[in-house]
Amino acid sequence: MRVERVPFRLISAATAALILAACGQKQSAPPPQTPEVGVVTVQPTTVPVVSELPGRTSAFLVAQVRARVDGIVLRREFTEGSDVKAGQRLYKIDPAPFIASLNTAKATLAKAQANVVTQNAQAARFKILVAANAVSKQDYDNAVATQGQAAADVASGKAAVDTAQINLGYTDVVSPITGRIGLSQVTPGAYVQASAATLLTTVQQLDPVYVDLTQSSVDGLKLRRDIQEGRLQTGGPNAAKVSLILEDGRTYSEQGKLQFSDVSVDQGTGSVTVRAIFPNKDRVLLPGMFVRARIDEGVNNKALVVPQVGVTHDQKGQPTALVVGPDNKVALRQLVTSGTFGSGWVVDSGLNPGDRVIVQGTDKARPGSTVKPVDAQLPPPGAQGASGADAGSAPAAAGASSAAASSSPAPAAASAASGA
């Protein structure tokens, strides 16, 4: 069998043609397109600053009713758990021994008053006799001294009568304040003692009520610093408004006012006590209830709010954002947030006014890469569910200054707001 050989020149020509064709295809391929991302430009906005603090309710006035004289309790004259008025009689202690003491004091006073009449007359006679040298000067001085003692006995007798009357009045145990009375600690027939300060019952005024809140000293310092540096504005002389969240999650119908902040820090917990006062005409709030209070602390006119979809977390859980620079290159920024406002995060540091934050197409962007930024098309506030609507419509959803500055945002609240 004879094999025909192909000339080497033909093979070389064919190979060269294939190579030239491949090069032509490479030169005609279009260049890769720059990825397009949606951005929002961060601008300062006005955000109310709200602290949410835990606390417990306490009565406005508390009066512990105790026995002030010794004796047997004859009867109780109130219904436990009812409302009582100041001066209303609660218990009756056996008055018999005190009536006897009062009668004895009155008799002693009458005796002293009779004696003072005699001594006054004798002193007057001795004054005339001593002038005529009928009695000695010593006898006259003794008569004057006896007259003074008789007058003192009258004063002492009057004081004894007053004391006896007061003790007799203490047998009527009355309420010192208007309020709601608690359980009776004694029953009729019980013997009570003033020296033992026997507790009979407790009366508490429930309208209004106090709410004692605890705030960390760090948050207190941050709040004062923001006010001094002009980032926050307070209501001036008007007290800060406080709203209350009950144990069942409902918001209390009445707003309260901030009363004061404690002047010392608890060394054990590092916190200070903040007291608010609330009206309680329907007696919804009872002493000892656990509540959460939202305090309107001021307004941040320079807040930077970023849509939640533009905030992610690194491996350490710290919030981050991708920012497009002037050269359209992407940079990763570490953020410090202080809570939420509407459906966005309030950023304390990590961003500057005018920064362009990527909120759409983040999967196409990498730090250092070049992108094509366009204005993001985000749904209006509240379009992503009830939680976003509630957050955007209620000032109570504002960023809480009590949140730690380094804490990361809660992912459960993620929704975007075009107003950010």
User: By C-alpha distance, which of 327, 308, 311, 307 is closest to 319?
Assistant: 311
Rounded to two decimals, what is the model's pTM?
A: 0.61
Gap between the Cα atoms of 35 and 322, Å rounded: 14
User: By C-alpha distance, which of 373, 392, 321, 313 is closest to 352?
Assistant: 321
CATH fold group of domain 95-170: Helix Hairpins (1.10.287)
Q: Report whether 392 contacts 307 (CB < 8 A).
A: no
CA-CA-CA-CA torsion for 133, 137, 138, 142, nearest 10 degrees? 100
CATH of domain 40-58+206-413: 2.40.30.170
Gap between the Cα atoms of 408 and 339, Å rounded: 9
- Predicted confidence pLDDT, tens digits, the chain (420 residues): 444 554 545 445 555 555 555 555 555 556 678 888 999 999 998 888 787 889 999 999 999 999 999 999 999 999 999 999 999 999 999 999 999 999 999 999 999 999 989 889 988 888 888 888 888 889 888 888 998 999 999 999 999 999 999 999 999 999 999 999 999 999 999 999 998 888 999 999 999 999 998 888 887 777 667 666 655 554 445 556 789 999 898 999 998 887 766 667 777 777 888 888 999 998 899 999 999 998 777 788 888 999 999 999 988 889 999 999 999 999 999 999 888 888 889 998 999 999 999 999 888 889 999 999 998 887 543 334 333 333 333 333 334 443 333 333 433 333 333 333
Gap between the Cα atoms of 254 and 287, Å rounded: 17
Q: DSSP secondary structure string, 287-355? A: TT-EEEEEEEEEEEEEEEEEEGGG-EE-TTS-EEEEEE-TTSBEEEEE-EEEEEETTEEEEEES--TT-
Q: Which two tokens stand for residue 321?
A: 């954002």
Bridge partners of 202, per DSSP, are 64
Residues of the chain with CATH 2.40.30.170: 40-58+206-413
Q: DSSP secondary structure string, 75-140? A: EE-S-TT-EE-TT-EEEEE--HHHHHHHHHHHHHHHHHHHHHHHHHHHHHHHHHHHHTTSS-HHHH
Q: Report whether 392 contacts 342 (CB < 8 A).
A: yes
CATH fold group of domain 69-93+172-197: OB fold (Dihydrolipoamide Acetyltransferase, E2P) (2.40.50)
Residues of the chain with CATH 2.40.50.100: 69-93+172-197
Residues of the chain with CATH 1.10.287.470: 95-170
Q: What is the DSSP letter of 153?
A: H
